[in-house]
Amino acid sequence: MYQIDDADSFAGWRRLISNSFVPLNAEPVRAGRFGGRIGGRRLQDFGMMQVDASAHTVVRTPELIAAGGAGHYKLNLQVDGHALLLQDGRETVMRPGDLAIYDTQRPYTLTFDQDFRTLVLMFPQHLLGLSPEDVAELTAVRMGKGQRLGDAIVPFVSQIGHMLPTLDGPIGNRLAMNVVDLLSTLLADEIYTRPDQAADGNVRLLRRVQHHIDANLADPSLTPPAIAAAHYISTRTLHQLFADSGHTVGGWIRERRLERCRRDLIDPLHAGVPVSAIGARWGLVDAAHFSRAFRGAFGASPSQYRKVQGLAAA
């Protein structure tokens, strides 16, 4: 359901933004009348909000983070006005058409020095499919306009913002996941093309292997020897690449497959698809093994997880 909430006082605005996103401190940047509006909807655990407000600053403090809550990423697409985002020792000025990502599990400050409009996408971190270490390199980094993928992705995300009042049901959920996938692609491209990564061949090779795995998760024959052969390296070298990053090859494949299964289980368009078929679609062809692995990862069997989400087929 599309919802619009207004605030005509700063105390009301503090409550509204904390209820709409994560708990935040906020302060006006100048005296005078204040007004703000948030319009948007939640599609499963994905929030898409358009924010229009007077100038102010929001701060996510260590104390608010310590109070608990699941980790989310937030993506800002600046529509009107300017913003200054600070996180992880970096700061970036965002102008209309710019994108930036930030992490709600680490402190950040976001300042708007004039009336503004921004589109905010907030989603659980596990949906992005990139390692936290990679994303941590890109928080508070301006992306979007002027970049080869950004020039294509920004208009799409902007159009989704215009469509927010009409997005609902299974198609709305699918579009939300599409936005996350596009963002993941944009971030991956940024990681690959950053000059400071060029000298570290192992880092680049590991990321290339990880993206190869993501592209071939549906193949039941996706094994370490096959992956190593596709990249002209030995299986031993492959295992060492992952060990250096704190993972195993098999564990990485399993985690990514289970995450894709979880997404399908909460997708209304797949509500009538048998659980075993969803597992098989992502290379987990043994239904019993799939159920055990899923329960181990998420604390419930695939059928139970789907039921809790309210998506079991009638």
CA distance linking residue 62 with residue 160, whole number of Å:
32
Res. 309: pLDDT tops 60? yes
CA distance linking residue 304 with residue 310, whole number of Å:
10
* Token reading at 21: 């996103």
Which segment of 43-47, 116-120, 265-269, 290-294 scores lowest on mean pLDDT?
43-47
Higher pLDDT, 199 or 70: 70
CA distance linking residue 222 with residue 229, whole number of Å:
11
pLDDT score, position 244: 84
Taking a C-beta distance cutoff of 8 angstroms, is the pair 167, 41 a contact?
Answer: yes
**CA distance readout (Å), 168 to 2, 76, 261:** 8, 21, 22
pLDDT score, position 194: 67
Cα dihedral 259, 263, 101, 26 in deg (nearest 10): -110
Instruction: With cut-offs at 50, 70 and 90, classify the pLDDT of residue 314.
Output: very low
The 10s digit of each residue's pLDDT in 238-280 is 999 999 888 899 999 999 999 999 989 988 888 889 999 999 9
Q: What percent of the chain has pLDDT over 90?
A: 54
**What is the CATH T-level fold of the domain 200-308, as seen in this structure?**
Arc Repressor Mutant, subunit A (1.10.10)
CA distance linking residue 176 with residue 163, whole number of Å:
12
Q: Over range 142-161, report the average pLDDT.
A: 83
Higher pLDDT, 1 or 175: 175
CA distance linking residue 269 with residue 311, whole number of Å:
9
Q: Over range 192-220, report the average pLDDT.
A: 77
pLDDT score, position 197: 47
Q: Where are the domains of the chain?
A: 3-195, 200-308
Taking a C-beta distance cutoff of 8 angstroms, is the pair 41, 63 a contact?
Answer: no
Each residue of 139-172: b (16+ CB within 10 Å) or e?
Answer: bbbbbbeebebbeebbeebbebbeebeebeeeeb
Q: Over range 63-72, report the average pLDDT.
A: 86
pLDDT score, position 311: 54
Q: Specify the CATH class of 3-195 in words.
A: mainly beta
